[in-house]
Structures are given as C-alpha cells and as structure tokens.
Chain A
C-alpha cells in the first residue's frame, strides 16, 4: 500500500518518464480498477482487457495529470474505457454467460466455506451480476461506484462528469431496477426476501 505522500512523489516521477514508478501505482490500484471493469463488463476477459487499456491510457496521459485524486482519475479512464467496450460488444457479443461465470468464479477471492454454501453463494452472485447487466450503463456505473467501490456522491459525480443530483437519481433508479430484477428471482433469494418482509 502506498501512502498519499509516496503516491504524489511516484506521480511526479512518472511524469518524468519513470515507468517503474508508474508500475508501482498500477500494482496499488489494479484490484479496484479490475473490479470496476468486471462489474461494468460482467465478463472477466473483457474486464482484463479494459483494465489493461485503462493503465495504458493512464500512462500515456500521466503528463497531463494534475495532482488531485489519482484513484478517481483512473476510475474515470476505466469507466470511459468500459463504456466504449460495452458499445462495441453490443454489436458483437463474444463470451457465453456460462464461460463467463466459470471464469468469474476463478477470479473471485477463494473461500473456505463448505461446497453447498459456496454453490448457493455463487448462484446469488451470478444473479446479482445478471441484474447489474440489465441496468443502463450510467446507472450501473453509479451503483457500482457507490456500493462496490464505496465512493461518495461527490467523487462519483467527478468520475462521471455530471452533477451530484444526477448521480443521486442514477443510483436511486439503478437500485430500484436491480431490486425489481432480484425480486423476480424470488426463489433464489428466499433469505433476502424474508429479510425484506
């Protein structure tokens, strides 16, 4: 983990062309960037490509970066990259859902729970991801940044290049749509539905 002072120093050295310093920043931020790409794309392979492209774009544009918030800047690049990927993948979807979820279960952090619990959790995760995939990309980005990346509305507005009011609206609608989708899968989510009741 890199401290804020170290990060600022690394960024300055990156701007002078030191690739090793940039790669230290990559190692520091590759997990959140990859997770944002993964939830946006819903596909591990595309998420890897998007994450890689994000860091390449960041390296190319590091000279113009002003010392504000490096993570937000990376997230914005990643969000734009994912948006472009989603636009192009709409025209030519490549990976089947089964293949994708197989790869997804490889990518997630390993757990030591018993197989039954794991299987159930995996199914729930798949359904949540499917639900996310049904959202409009802007709503999905807002929800993912808020609930998974745990960013506040101000940061999300900066990343999405919009107002806080719009962010609030997108998160609200995104959650409602996702809630409606999950309710339709009621049999899968017995426990959670009971929680609601």
Chain B
C-alpha cells in the first residue's frame, strides 16, 4: 500500500481541516484555509483522507434497540415506610444518646453514696490528733472540709462522715469508681449503668444508620424489562 501521508500537513492547519469538513470554521478562518489549500498538496491530501474517514464513519448503520427502555416508577410503599422508620429511629436514638452524654458530662443523674477515695483510710484520719483544716483534701470530692470544735481539734468532715469500708454495703465495696456509670457527682455511682447504656446506644445508632442506608437503596425506580 502506498502511504500517501508520509509528508506531514502544515501543523497549524490540522485542526482547521477537520473543522472545515464540518463547516465549523469562523468567518476569517475559512477563506484563509481555502487560500492555503490552493497551494499546499499535503494539506489537500490530509483533507481528502479526513473526508473519507468521516464518510466511512457515516456508513455505520443505525442500530435498533432489541428492547424498549421505558421505565416504571414503582416506589414500593413498604420500602419507603421502612426507610422512614429507620431514619426516624436513627435520629431518635442519636438524640437520646446525646442527651444521656450531656447529662453524664454535667453530672445531673442521681447517684448513690459516694464511695471512699482509695487514698484516705479512716483509721489514719481518726488517729490524727489535730488536723490542719484542709480545703478539698478528698480527691474528686466536693470541697466541704471545715474546722469543727471537737476536742479542741479540727476534723476533716469529709473523712469523718465517710463510713469505713467494712460498713459499706457489699455492692458499694466491690464496685470501683466509674464502673456502672461515670460519677456524675465525683466519687459517687449512678443508680443506673450510664456507661453501658451509652455504649449500647452507640451500637444502636450505627446499626440503625446502616439499615437506613440499605432501606434507602431499595427506594428507586424499578426497571421494566
């Protein structure tokens, strides 16, 4: 086969030739290119080859689809309502979780008797002949120490009222601070397991969110094949 395109056409005219075939040149481009084509054989050959390529492309027949592409908008009611329910449930659970967390943070929940701080043992406090008045000596306890006129000495009120571990109920002795709920009132325990509830709610929010996404995907336009 003879390669008639060995010589490159003028580079600046290559794009113009294609647009010229499509009659898409501007008013000034067209006469300039036509003038150039009168003298340049290489560009003339390029033009002819591109025209032939276009003609060959146009030979491709129009294909008829073997089936119709009509659509039906069947939005299943069940899926829609499930989606709505899941979405609402996710939102509600997230709000409850947020409220519980906020309550935990600000320590608004009722708690049991505060457990004794581990650093202070009762015998040491009792045996102290004269305690220097302290402020906020208990770790995490409210600052309630004040001097009391008992036997001419001051006593740490917080330490005195703290029952000895053996006098505490069994459950209070066994549970460590923080277990069963962060102490809203420091040193104490909630009457209900706040932390476990929070963790449970986090899981619920995640699961409900996933279910919402799954339900949402099912609400789409069904294809009529």
Chain A contact residues, CB within 8 Å of chain B: 17, 19, 22-23, 26-27, 30-31, 33-35, 38-39, 44, 48, 51-52, 54-56, 59-60, 104, 106-109, 111, 121, 124-125, 128-129, 143, 146-148, 152-153, 168-169, 171-172, 175-176, 178-179, 182-183, 186-187, 189, 192-193, 195-197
| Interface residues of B, count at CB 8 A | 41
**The residue from A38, A56, A121 contacting B221, defined by CB atoms under 8 A apart:** A56
Spot the interface stretch: B57-65, B76-84, B129-137. Answer: B57-65
Q: Please list 7 pairs of residues, one from A and one from B, whose beta carbons are closer than 8 Å in the complex, sorted by A's number.
A: A19-B72, A27-B68, A31-B62, A60-B220, A109-B63, A182-B53, A189-B56
Q: Is the CB of A147 within 8 A of B68?
A: no
- State the B residues within 8 Å of A (CB): 1-5, 14-15, 17-19, 22, 24, 45, 48-50, 52-73, 220-221, 223
**B50 adjacent to A179 (CB under 8 Å):** yes
Q: Is the CB of A22 within 8 A of B71?
A: yes
Given the complex of chains A and B, what is the CA–CA distance between A152 and B24 in angstroms?
Answer: 8
A186: B residues at CB distance < 8 A: 1
Chain B residues contacting A23 (CB-CB under 8 Å) are: 70-71
A178 near B64 (CB under 8 angstroms)? no
In the complex, which residues of chain B have a beta carbon less than 8 angstroms from the beta carbon of A153?
19, 22, 24
Q: Are B69 and A55 in contact (CB under 8 A)?
A: yes
Q: Find the A residue at minimum CB distance from B2.
A: A197
Q: Are A35 and B62 in contact (CB under 8 A)?
A: yes
Question: Which of B52, B57, B62, B223 has the largest number of chain A CB atoms within 10 A?
Answer: B57
A117–chain B nearest beta-carbon distance, Å: 12
Bound-complex Cα distance A38 to B61 (A): 11
Task: Report yes or no: B69 in contact with A128, Cβ–Cβ below 8 A.
Answer: no
Are B52 and A195 closer than 8 Å at their CB atoms? yes
Q: How far is the CB of A45 from chain B (nearest CB, A)?
A: 10
A107-B65, A146-B22 as given contacts; A56 in contact with B223, CB under 8 Å? yes
Chain A residue, CB-CB nearest to B73: A19
A55 vs B2: C-alpha distance when bound (angstroms): 47
- Given known contacts A26-B68, A51-B69, is B14 in contact with A171 (CB within 8 Å)? no
By a CB distance below 8 angstroms, the chain B residues around A169 are: 15
Q: How far is the CB of A82 from chain B (nearest CB, A)?
A: 14
Which one, A38, A56, A146, A176, contacts B71 given CB within 8 A?
A: A56
Known A-B contacts A56-B221, A147-B58, A171-B18; the reply to A30 vs B65 at CB < 8 A is yes
By the criterion CB–CB under 8 Å, are B65 and A55 in contact?
no
Given A52-B69, A56-B71, A179-B53, residue A108 in contact with residue B63 (CB < 8 A): yes
CB within 8 Å for A128 and B60 given contacts A179-B49, A179-B53: yes
Q: How far is the CA of A169 from the CA of B71 in the complex (A)?
A: 37
In the complex, the answer to whether A108 meets B64 with C-beta atoms within 8 Å is: yes
Give chain A nearest CB distance to B63 CB in angstroms: 4
Complex Cα spacing A59 to B17, Å: 40
B70: which of A26, A39, A182 is its contact (CB, 8 Å)? A26
Query: Cβ of A30 and Cβ of B68 under 8 Å apart?
Result: yes
A125 and B60 in contact, given A22-B71, A168-B18, A175-B54 (Cβ under 8 angstroms):
yes
Residues of B within 8 A of A179 (CB): 49-50, 52-53
Question: Which residues from chain B contact A195 at a C-beta distance below 8 Å?
Answer: 52
Contact A109 B15 (CB under 8 A): no
Q: B15 and A192: CB pair below 8 A?
A: no
Known contacts A17-B73, A128-B56; decide if A107 and B64 are in contact (CB<8 Å): yes
Chain B residues within 8 Å of A54, by CB: 69
Min CB gap A118→B, angstroms: 11
Do B61 and A48 touch (CB < 8 A)? no
A57 shortest CB reach to chain B, Å: 9
From B15, B22, B73, contact of A59 by CB (8 A): B73
